[in-house]
Structures are given as structure tokens and as C-alpha cells.
């Protein structure tokens, strides 16, 4: 379904457009706010819905981070700290931007977030109250294909091979999500045990061909969804182009950078 997801360039421009509108809103309300910055295109942006879809699969990555998501370079952290030194918004500014007070429960922001500059900017660009629900129709099919693929006999067999491989290395996980979601990894620090487990996980995925089998089955399922629900996917693609076109109008000359 990659043809129905933001490209790296689209994601970058859409994000910048939201920043531009939110910044203008803050200025109109009389608040000082950091100027919009165009983010570099990242690997995550190129495939936002597919990142770690089948768990960890990259050996070099897990040997450093285990099951934790990789952090950015140290230079990025230094740059962020410098920006924070230059600009520290007060509580009133944060509330104006987010639509909720800094100490307010953000899980209850459904009403108050509409008042925030960020929420308004996202609604202007994506036509949704919350940015993370902008592709809800596509996400519905994306989730369904994963669930359906997991029940496929070929995938079930591959998962069993993975589990057998892991047992041979001293682990007792029924499937790839047992290791991925192990409560021991739900801490900030990456442990040696986590790295060892993730490394063996990647090895067993390669030997059992779990990611390859899952991808093959999902690709066929998604092609079938697109064929059977052509009207829905045509609308998704139209909305994707419409959002990007509007973002380009907002961003204007800044895109040239």
C-alpha cells in the first residue's frame, strides 16, 4: 500500500506546513514561538507504517539498541539542547500551542486541543482534529492485512520454525511478538540480555524466513483489498494529493530549501 502513503517529500512538506500555520497562529495570539524548521527526510518518514512491522530485522541495529527504537545522532541531541537554550516557552505559550496546560492529562485533549494552534494547523492541513488520525481509512486496511496474514498457514508454519529456532538458543517465545514485547525491555536502558535476545531473534527470523513469508502474504492480501475496495482507495489517493497540494500552497518559497 506504499502508493497510498505519504512519500518522504510529502511528509516533509506536510509537516512544515503544519509548523508554518501553527507558528502564524502563535504570532497572532501574541506569543513568542520557535520558527518552523524543515526536518530532514528520515528512514522512518519513507515508510511510517512499515517501521518494524515484523519486529526487529536489522542485525547492526539490534546489536546496539536491542528492541529499543534507535536514537538520533549525538549531534542532533546537541542541536536540540542549543535550541532549548535559545527558546524556552512559558506555560501560557505551551497551552496556547497545544490547547492543553502543561500539567493537564493529554489523554483528555479531544475538546481542548481544538483551541490550540497545533490542533488548528493540523485540522487545516489534514482535515482532521488529530494529526495521527489523518489516514484512518488506510490504517484500517493496513491493520486488517496484518491480522489476516498472521492466520495464513504459511505464516503460522514460519512462526513455528522461528519459535523452534529460539528454543534451541535457550528462549521460550511462542511468536516474534513474545520476544519483541517482553516486559523486561520496557525500561529506558538497553541491557546486555536484551541485545543478546534481539540478536538471536534476528538470526531466527532469517533462518525461518518469517519476514519474507509475511511480506509475501501481506502483499497479495493488500492487492486484493485494493482491487475489491477500489472506490475507497481512490478516495485515499485523492485526499493524499489534496493534502500535499494545500501544504505546498502554505509552505510556498520555503520548499526550495
Which residue has cell 475507497?
A: 232
What was the pLDDT predicted at 1? 83
Give the pLDDT means over successive 10-residue stretches in the chain (257 positions). Answer: 86 92 94 81 50 90 94 46 61 87 53 74 78 68 93 98 98 96 94 98 98 96 95 90 94 62
Beta carbons of 65 and 132 less than 8 angstroms apart: no
Gap between the Cα atoms of 31 and 11, Å rounded: 27
The closest of 54, 24, 49 to 175, measured between CA atoms, is: 54
CA quadruple 108, 26, 126, 128: dihedral sign: positive
The separation between CA 90 and the C-alpha centre of its own chain, rounded to angstroms, equals 29
What was the pLDDT predicted at 234? 92
**pTM for the structure as a whole:** 0.69
Q: What is the DSSP letter of 256?
A: G
Contacts of 112 (CB under 8 A, 6+ apart): 99, 100, 104
SS (HEC) of 147-203:
HHHHCCHHHHHHHHHHHHHHHHCCCCCCCHHHHHCCHHHCCCCCCHHHHHHHHHHHH
Q: Per-residue b/e over 148-176, b at no fewer than 16 CB within 10 Å?
A: bbeebeebeebbebbbebbeeeebebebb
Gap between the Cα atoms of 164 and 171, Å rounded: 9
Q: Render 85-140 in DSSP notation, one character per residue.
A: HH----HHHHHHHHSS-TTS-GGGTTTGGGGSHHHHHHHHHHSSSSGGGTTHHHHH
Gap between the Cα atoms of 24 and 2, Å rounded: 33
What was the pLDDT predicted at 74? 44
What was the pLDDT predicted at 88? 78
Beta carbons of 47 and 2 less than 8 angstroms apart: yes
Amino acid at each position: 500500500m506504499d502508493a497510498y502513503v505519504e512519500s518522504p517529500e510529502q511528509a516533509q512538506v506536510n509537516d512544515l506546513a503544519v509548523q508554518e500555520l501553527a507558528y502564524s497562529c502563535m504570532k497572532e495570539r501574541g506569543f513568542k514561538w520557535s520558527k518552523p524548521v524543515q526536518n530532514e527526510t528520515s528512514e522512518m518518514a519513507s515508510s511510517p507504517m512499515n517501521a518494524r512491522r515484523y519486529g526487529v530485522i536489522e542485525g547492526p541495529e539490534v546489536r546496539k539498541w536491542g528492541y529499543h527504537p534507535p536514537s538520533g545522532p549525538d549531534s542532533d541531541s546537541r542541536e536540540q539542547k542549543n535550541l532549548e537554550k535559545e527558546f524556552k516557552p512559558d506555560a501560557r505559550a505551551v497551552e496556547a500551542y497545544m490547547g492543553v496546560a502543561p500539567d493537564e492529562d493529554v489523554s483528555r485533549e479531544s475538546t481542548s486541543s481544538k483551541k490550540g494552534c497545533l490542533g488548528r494547523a493540523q485540522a487545516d492541513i489534514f482535515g482532521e482534529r488529530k494529526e495521527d488520525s489523518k489516514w484512518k481509512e488506510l490504517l484500517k486496511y493496513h491493520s486488517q492485512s496484518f491480522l489476516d496474514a498472521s492466520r495464513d498457514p504459511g505464516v503460522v508454519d514460519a512462526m513455528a520454525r522461528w519459535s523452534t529456532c529460539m528454543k534451541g538458543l535457550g528462549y521460550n517465545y511462542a511468536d516474534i511478538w513474545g520476544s519483541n514485547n517482553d516486559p523486561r525491555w520496557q525500561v529506558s536502558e538497553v541491557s546486555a540480555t536484551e541485545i543478546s535476545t534481539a540478536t538471536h531473534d534476528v538470526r531466527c527470523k532469517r533462518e525461518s524466513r518469517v519476514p519474507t513469508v509475511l511480506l509475501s502474504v501481506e502483499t497479495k492480501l493488500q492487492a486484493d483489498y485494493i482491487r475489491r475496495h477500489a472506490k475507497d482507495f481512490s478516495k485515499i489517493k485523492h485526499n493524499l494529493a489534496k493534502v500535499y497540494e494545500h501544504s505546498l500552497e502554505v509552505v510556498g518559497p520555503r520548499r526550495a530549501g
